[in-house]
Structure 1
């Protein structure tokens, strides 16, 4: 799997992109790495799994940390699943919410472009965000997002984990209601088809 996921650029003309950099699989959290391994198995010889390929019984331990999203029109990506641990940590359940409604208006077009690239490359992306607990300690939260092909309704999907990078610390702290997060790093993840040409710098967890 490491060969397929080694970082490299896609051939062809440059693509406009709101992101810079890439993240290696070795920089993922344990839960993120475990789900990526499942996703790779589920897709088989295809570029990405279909909705029917996703079997929740195969990753039961990760279900509380899962996010499942679906395009519903050109400017709506809706959370169809928001894991119970995510709801507990963030003190809100985002199931049914449009991702772009949660962002400042000036950031929405950037996020839309990033999400479209997941299927057009295809590739994944990873966000590491800093969040401060009620004691004032800062922790790193990871969102891993991977593409899933369209279902019978023709709508493209995305799936991935949301988890604290320090899984042991996650059991020992509490967040305020509606905690604010700050982006620490965000980058593409090579799924065997290269990366957008803008992803020319490795973003590490250091």
Structure 2
């Protein structure tokens, strides 16, 4: 499965349409315009991340399915604390690029859970702004593409140890020209075959 092909996924298409409808002008939508009316069907698997630093993207809202999968008790968890250490530099650059340009992003990745479950997931993430200044938040929705039991891990939830691939797509503002508009980490063919 190609990561770009996920842009044709009906759920991701519907999420992008809701984001487009939330735009009150030709700019990135304001956080206050991400309304229940537009995004209700996505709420269980939806997240809003607040950018507070190069490696700090805190969950300020997360749907119940997201919270259950990540064993979250409320909000405030830093998404980067869940990432495998090897992908931190690539992730810092890629996630920062979503806000810098701004661009849309689609990312496929592994999630390993303490009880040994290994999932192949995908998320679409789109920029949002709190005020009239530039984008400083990301809104996204996650979809589980497959899962299998992998045996006990080190007792933590880890994203991206087995696989992570992210690509940018244009929202009408262009995409970053510096370097690759994608990252790829540890593509394990066994992981991708379910």
1:121 pairs, out of 67, 76, 101, with 101
Q: Is the 8 A contact 1:22 1:187 kept in 2?
A: yes
Provide the C-alpha distance between the structure 1 equivalents of 2:133 and 2:27, rounded to a whole number of angstroms: 19
- What secondary structure does 1:186 align onto? strand
1:88 pairs, out of 65, 68, 71, with 68
Q: Aligned-pair distance for 1:35?
A: 1.1
Answer 1 or 2: higher relative contact order, Cα 8 Å, separation at least 6.
1
Unaligned runs of 5+ in 1: 1-20
Give the structure with the larger strand fraction: 2
Deviation per CA, 1:17-66: give whole Å up to 9, x if none: xxxx97256444x3322111110111143231011221123221211111
| 2:26 corresponds to 1:46 | yes
Deviation per CA, 1:93-112: give whole Å up to 9, x if none: 57211122223445333322
Q: Residue 186 of structure 2 aligns with which residue?
A: none
| 2:141 corresponds to 1:141 | no
Alignment of 1:49-198 (within 5 A): 49-93=29-73, 95-130=75-110, 140-151=120-131, 156-165=136-145, 182-183=162-163, 185-197=165-177, 198=180
- What secondary structure does 2:75 align onto? coil
Q: Is the 8 A contact 2:83 2:158 kept in 1?
A: no
Indicate the RMSD between aligned Cα atoms, in angstroms: 3.9
Q: Aligned-pair distance for 1:148?
A: 0.5
- What secondary structure does 2:138 align onto? strand
Pair 1:86–1:174, CA change in 2 (3 A): farther
Q: Aligned-pair distance for 1:129?
A: 2.2
Provide the C-alpha distance between the structure 1 equivalents of 2:121 and 2:91, rounded to a whole number of angstroms: 18
Q: Aligned-pair distance for 1:114?
A: 1.7
With structure 2 as the length reference, what TM-score do the two structures score?
Answer: 0.69
Deviation per CA, 1:78-133: give whole Å up to 9, x if none: 11112101223344457211122223445333322222211221101111124589
